[in-house]
Structure 1
Amino acid sequence: MINADYTLELCNVFHTGVVEPGTCFQRMMGNVKTGIILKDVSLEVHGGEVLAVLGSKGSGKRALLEVVARRAQGPTRGQLLLNGAPMTLRLFQQSCGYVTHKCDLLPGLSVEQTLYHAAQLALGTKVSRHLKRSRVRQVMADLALSQVANRATEQLTQSEYRRLAIGVQLVRDPVILLLDEPTWDLDPLNTYLVVSILSNHARKYGRAVVLTMEKPRSDVFPFLDRVTYLCLGEVVYTGGTRLMLDYFRSIGFPCPELENPLMYYLCLSTVDRRSRERFIESNHQIAALVEKFKMEGGPFRKTSAILSGRTVVDPPDPLHAGGAIGSNKVPLSAFGRPGAFHVSLTLFLRSWATMFNLRAFGLMQISLRLLAHPFFHLLLWIFFRGMENYQRTFISRNGLIFNCLAGSYFIPIITTVCIFPSHRTRYYQEAQEGLYSGPLFILSYLLFSLPFSLISMAAASRITFELTGLQDPVEWLKFGGILWACHLMAEQLTIALLMVVKSSFTAAVTSIYIHIVILLLGSGTLRSIRGLLEWLYYLTYATQSRYAGATLAQQMFDKRFVTLPKDAFHNCTSAFQGPSDLITGTSPSFGCRYADGNAFLIERYGREDADDSLTEFLDFNLNFGITFAFSVGFILFNCLLYVIPLPAAVKAKFRE
């Protein structure tokens, strides 16, 4: 367990990484330019202090945070210690927090719900539910969010959203909090508010805060206990903020009066690229400053907050008074993480909260999950309800099967690309914090969506089942079950695409194209299986629609619709010589194509080279089982896909 006097120390840290990322394809192929990003960086920060890492773009500020968080891609050498212990990924995830530059929170949740579910995911069962709720209220008060506790995340201002993202980490009570540009694009008032809140948090709870800033304002100077200037990965100065003035004055660079010292020395530590002469001159000057600090800066780097004119106070916390858990000495994060069942239940309840909240995102989910299928099948019922038992009913009912399959494939694609991406992005960000694994995320999402898809498909299939003419409720269960299996297949395939494709539109179009091919090739509705080329025929074995279409067609036509008339005025009885006409090529009179439903099935699914092929193809129980096997197989595939290590270039698209 970590002691109370928290100290983060970096000693002679070097890091090599990508300096020109290039395209996603180049990153995946490894054709990117790498170089040394951090060069001999040494610094430290203690509990109760705020350390600001300053530098221009490309100076290595974010890389420094990534190295501390153990997320940096590429070799790192040097010592990185937390209270003298090596900073491992596990130690950072257990005891520290990292607020990235871009943090995506789930829409539909209120501020209080977002923080409470974050506490449920991060804090173990030893921390009571009452204490978690108290911690949430305390964090909202510290971040000035109490007045918007019931406001949805998508309705927050930029400043409120940024503070809520910080609160998601603070609710865990991390001993070290890293923040990448927390004041980016904020106005001066909100910049002052955010930095003052972070300073108050560090002093009140004795935690260390490390933040990066590109354009520090003078009004945040009093809140920064330490400052580190980076230029091209090298340290120009690190140490107490107030002693910074004495140091630069002693080496001949006093800060002019009425100047912002933070910006003045930031400009001093930045390469001037306005001309070749200035570039060379500023480069030599910065190199000299770096060497000067290496020789004389040791005492400044070791300076504590007290010596720099700031005393760290540790007042009693009324929230944690009288108990060991959650006291200032022992952070809440030190009492373990929740188990898999608790995390899965939290993910389920969080998804439930995003849906049933009467907000825009929740209403969209209700419409897509519960109402889209019934509405589509109602349209089918209106369009097909006039079917009469004439010869044309074979084609009409075949069209009904095709449309039922198409709706079962395309509607879940639209539903998934509208709802899943926000959960996926949040998963990628929380998985980096070690909160849960990919398979647990996929199974939790599936368990949440399954009941709604089942209810929706049961209602939808009941509408179109009335058009089949079947009366047995068991037949309705079979009919709806096949459509539900197709729904699950399309949903899981789209989730798999969204694993590696960031754009929802691209994933939707790709999934739709795949299912169009599956429908055309394997369903036997638009193109008969009997008429396919041999290699295409065997390719249909790899499509779910082959088995789903055959099952629905057999249910619809097998041993039904015998000797139907051409229309109300023409009878087809004398025109048929038997089902063998369709195999031998004998054609009945015009408009009298099918003697019965079995003749229609022979035309769609029979093989010219074998009379008994129809029996082999239309095995109802086998086709029914294989249809569901495709769905179960893709669920297992997604669980595997979300646990195997993917290239960092792919994952980074969702985490930046």
Structure 2
Amino acid sequence: MIPNDFVLEAHNIYHTAEVVSGDCFSGNKNSALVLKGVNLVVHSGEVLAVLGSKGSGKKALLDVISRRTNESSRGQVLLNGAPMTKSLFGRCCGYVTHENDFIPGLTAFQTLQYTPTVSNGFIKQSKVRQVLADLTLSQVANKKVENLNISEKRRLAIGIQLIRDPVMLLLDEPTQGLDPLSAYLLISILSNSAKKVGCGIILSLEKPRSDVFPFLDRALFLCLGGAVYSGGTRAMLEYFHGIGFPCPQLENPLMYYLCLSTVDRRSRDRFLESSQQIEALVQRFSRESPMNDGGPVMSNGFGKLPLLYSKPGVFNVWGLLFLKMLAVNFSCGSTGLKSLFLRLFALPLAIGSMWIFYSNIADDSKGFYSRNGMILNVLGISYGCGILSTISIFPQWRKRFYHDSADGLYSGVSLLLAFNAVSIPFSVISAVLATCALYPIILNPLIPIHISVAYLFVSIWSCYFLAEQLCVLFCVFVKSRTNVAVAVSYIICIFVALSSGTVRSFKGLHPYLQEYNKIIHTKYASGLLHSTVFLSKNMNCEESATVSCPVPADYLTNRIGNADIEETNFIIIAIVIPVALSIFNMIMYTLPIANKVFRKHVDK
């Protein structure tokens, strides 16, 4: 239960943001003042509705309060007298958008169960059941989130925030896309939750219905960034009646005064007339009642400060992410089966299909049906399966991370640590199965079995893991999973063409490309495969040859550039490169450039 002594205040809020003017070919970005001296107060247990037409500044106000804006803003946002910071908002408050980015494969209960909170164990499960009951979601607790309707998804998104016990909850257009009955149910649930747990609620509405009026304690009417009215809903009728705008009987007061504070754009004359009227209303309200909307203003910091609220520990968050990812992989349904197939069986099946082409290959075969062609296909399949698996699984976690990171639930490092902790064991098992499928094809009796298996395993697994990490890296900058796959595939093709020794020999490369190859993973993975397939084997020459046949070392020197292959070093380097890339990814997901891209993805 949240103590009923919290007050959120916003004093004299000005906010400037970039707006696009012009058409899609000649659009220009200009700075515009989207909020002009807005004030509001909301207490624990109250519901404040921010009303206004599209472009009135509703979302900008919520972003300023939640400290999600990068553009310039002035004014004060206080929580019990403490200046609102991004860290403070993440600990004590919640933000719900109208987008529902849940992880497919999880049930409604699991979605709340794996949300990072301070409490765990039996207390956490009891809290989850209580939140589901309060949101009338108990009947769909064991239903997959992808099978929920839009109303149930919207309530579940609210539950993700309520499970954290916020003192203030912000909601951006929570009724958007809902039918009238679902919208009424949602607003009534929010009102009851606010009274029950003592949580202050601020929600934006564009088209409020009359049946939600009784559930609103306060209202803020915005038009072109200015406040036409801010205060209690009961005092609202008296205020507008006193200035000459009484609400007609049987009329929805919310919609009536929303229309009154909306610019009429049907003609130039109507636009000028309505703009002047709204400007007069804004100035009159600012002059007569700047913050006199009832209730004490606790600007002196009196009362329990929200700074005492704590965040869940790092290991707690990582453990929940890890368990959530495991739950998706082993969930019953299409999502779980797809994830399990891509992680475990796609690579072995693809490698096993090579039996069709290379089961009876001869030493003197050339072109695609040769040992050289086989090495090329092993590299390509290993890289390709890594790309396919990652772009199919990781983007949904990245998308969820965009919203969770904005709430300060966890960092990119925690996400990648959990993702790799799940991915690496699966990829190791998959690579082992693929090695077992490939080894009989390239059986080399002159090399000990354990050495051949080790070389094959390291080559296949490191290629798979490198492709996975490259996809994760590109996901920082690229939103479309298709574009990520294309970009990574293009890079891999360059690596294979220049460094594998299967398309073009090392000796045929320009000197600077030969030096460049020393840092390319494909060179070392291919070197292990070449040493397994060709080392100590006789290289058959054409009968018309006038020179002696090349020895294996000469062959390897021409193909991959090493006369004396040190397989141990190749194994170490082949493993170190993708591992180093995974560490680099963790750094990238904490840099400001990544946070900027994340915010762009969230806004879109």
| TM norm structure 1 | 0.86
Matched, 1:627 2:555: no
Q: Size of the alignment, in residue pairs?
A: 594
Alignment partner, residue 185 of structure 1: 177
CA contact (8 A) 2:15 2:36 kept: yes
Matched, 1:544 2:491: no
Q: CA deviation at 1:476?
A: 0.2
Alignment partner, residue 344 of structure 1: 318
**Percent identity between the aligned chains?**
45
Alignment partner, residue 615 of structure 1: 563
2: CA distance, partners of 1:554 / 1:488: 21
| TM norm structure 2 | 0.93
Relative to structure 2, which stretch is displaced further, 634-643 or 546-555?
546-555
Residues 463-502 of structure 1: pairs in structure 2 closer than 5 A: 463-470=437-444, 472-502=449-479
Alignment partner, residue 58 of structure 1: 55
* CA distance 1:303–1:288, change in 2 (3 Å): farther
Alignment partner, residue 261 of structure 2: 269
| Equivalent residue for 1:224, pick from 216, 220, 223 | 216
Q: CA deviation at 1:633?
A: 1.8
* CA distance 1:24–1:140, change in 2 (3 Å): farther
Residues 559-570 of structure 1: pairs in structure 2 closer than 5 A: 559-561=536-538, 564=540
CA contact (8 A) 1:502 1:653 kept: no
Q: CA deviation at 1:116?
A: 0.7
CA contact (8 A) 1:16 1:34 kept: yes
What is the DSSP-based 3-state SS (H/G/I as helix, E as strand, rest coil) of the residue aligned with 1:178? strand
2: CA distance, partners of 1:380 / 1:231: 66
Matched, 1:40 2:37: yes
* CA distance 1:550–1:236, change in 2 (3 Å): same
2: CA distance, partners of 1:299 / 1:615: 82
Q: CA deviation at 1:3?
A: 6.2
Matched, 1:7 2:3: no
2: CA distance, partners of 1:460 / 1:424: 28
2: CA distance, partners of 1:191 / 1:453: 45
Q: CA deviation at 1:290?
A: 0.6
CA contact (8 A) 1:55 1:270 kept: yes
Alignment partner, residue 289 of structure 2: 297
Relative to structure 2, which stretch is displaced further, 443-452 or 626-635?
626-635
CA contact (8 A) 2:495 2:522 kept: yes
What is the DSSP-based 3-state SS (H/G/I as helix, E as strand, rest coil) of the residue aligned with 1:162? helix
1: CA distance, partners of 2:366 / 2:5: 84
Matched, 1:578 2:578: no
1: CA distance, partners of 2:224 / 2:384: 51
What is the DSSP-based 3-state SS (H/G/I as helix, E as strand, rest coil) of the residue aligned with 2:14? strand
CA contact (8 A) 2:113 2:125 kept: yes
2: CA distance, partners of 1:24 / 1:539: 42
Residues 380-399 of structure 1: pairs in structure 2 closer than 5 A: 380-390=354-364, 392=366, 396-399=370-373
Matched, 1:72 2:69: yes
| Equivalent residue for 1:102, pick from 96, 99, 104 | 99
Alignment partner, residue 431 of structure 2: 457
Q: CA deviation at 1:649?
A: 5.2
Deviations 1:570-603 (A, max 9, x none): xx5x956424xxxxxxxxxxxxxxx554454354
CA contact (8 A) 2:80 2:306 kept: no
Give the aligned residue type for 2:548. G
2: CA distance, partners of 1:346 / 1:23: 46
CA contact (8 A) 1:174 1:331 kept: no
> Cα RMSD (Å) of the superposition?
2.6
Give the aligned residue type for 1:638. N
| Equivalent residue for 1:523, pick from 494, 497, 500 | 500
1: CA distance, partners of 2:315 / 2:391: 27
Alignment partner, residue 556 of structure 2: 601
Q: CA deviation at 1:58?
A: 0.8
What is the DSSP-based 3-state SS (H/G/I as helix, E as strand, rest coil) of the residue aligned with 1:102? coil
CA contact (8 A) 1:70 1:89 kept: yes
What are structure 1's unaligned runs of at least 5 residues? 306-328, 567-571, 580-594, 607-613
Q: CA deviation at 1:302?
A: 2.5
* CA distance 1:299–1:459, change in 2 (3 Å): closer
Alignment partner, residue 387 of structure 2: 413
Relative to structure 2, which stretch is displaced further, 644-653 or 514-523?
644-653
Q: CA deviation at 1:605?
A: 3.8
Q: CA deviation at 1:359?
A: 1.4
* CA distance 1:338–1:510, change in 2 (3 Å): same
What is the DSSP-based 3-state SS (H/G/I as helix, E as strand, rest coil) of the residue aligned with 1:615? coil
CA contact (8 A) 1:413 1:511 kept: yes
1: CA distance, partners of 2:313 / 2:374: 48
What are structure 2's unaligned runs of at least 5 residues? 298-302
Alignment partner, residue 300 of structure 2: none
CA contact (8 A) 1:95 1:334 kept: no
Give the greater-gyration-radius structure (CA). 1
Alignment partner, residue 129 of structure 1: 121
Q: CA deviation at 1:334?
A: 5.7
Q: CA deviation at 1:87?
A: 1.4
Give the aligned residue type for 1:485. S
What is the DSSP-based 3-state SS (H/G/I as helix, E as strand, rest coil) of the residue aligned with 2:456? helix
Alignment partner, residue 400 of structure 1: 374
Deviations 1:381-439 (A, max 9, x none): 22210113445599611111111100111111111111100101111211111121112
Give the aligned residue type for 2:377. N
Matched, 1:505 2:482: yes
Deviations 1:119-151 (A, max 9, x none): xx1x22xx3421111110010000010000001
Deviations 1:169-195 (A, max 9, x none): 001111101000000010000000000
| Equivalent residue for 1:160, pick from 152, 156, 159 | 152
Deviations 1:356-381 (A, max 9, x none): 11111111101111110011011012
2: CA distance, partners of 1:631 / 1:649: 26
1: CA distance, partners of 2:594 / 2:318: 26
Alignment partner, residue 324 of structure 1: none
1: CA distance, partners of 2:350 / 2:392: 18
CA contact (8 A) 1:524 1:605 kept: yes
Alignment partner, residue 237 of structure 2: 245
Relative to structure 2, which stretch is displaced further, 350-359 or 86-95?
86-95
Alignment partner, residue 19 of structure 1: 19
Q: CA deviation at 1:38?
A: 1.1
Give the aligned residue type for 1:642. Y
2: CA distance, partners of 1:170 / 1:331: 20
What is the DSSP-based 3-state SS (H/G/I as helix, E as strand, rest coil) of the residue aligned with 2:578? helix
1: CA distance, partners of 2:354 / 2:311: 50
What is the DSSP-based 3-state SS (H/G/I as helix, E as strand, rest coil) of the residue aligned with 1:59? coil
Q: CA deviation at 1:292?
A: 1.0
Deviations 1:19-69 (A, max 9, x none): 339999999xxx832222211111101111110000011111001111111
Matched, 1:114 2:91: no
CA contact (8 A) 1:175 1:331 kept: no
Q: CA deviation at 1:10?
A: 1.0
Alignment partner, residue 428 of structure 1: 402
* CA distance 1:396–1:25, change in 2 (3 Å): farther
Q: CA deviation at 1:331?
A: 12
What is the DSSP-based 3-state SS (H/G/I as helix, E as strand, rest coil) of the residue aligned with 2:114? helix
CA contact (8 A) 2:80 2:305 kept: no
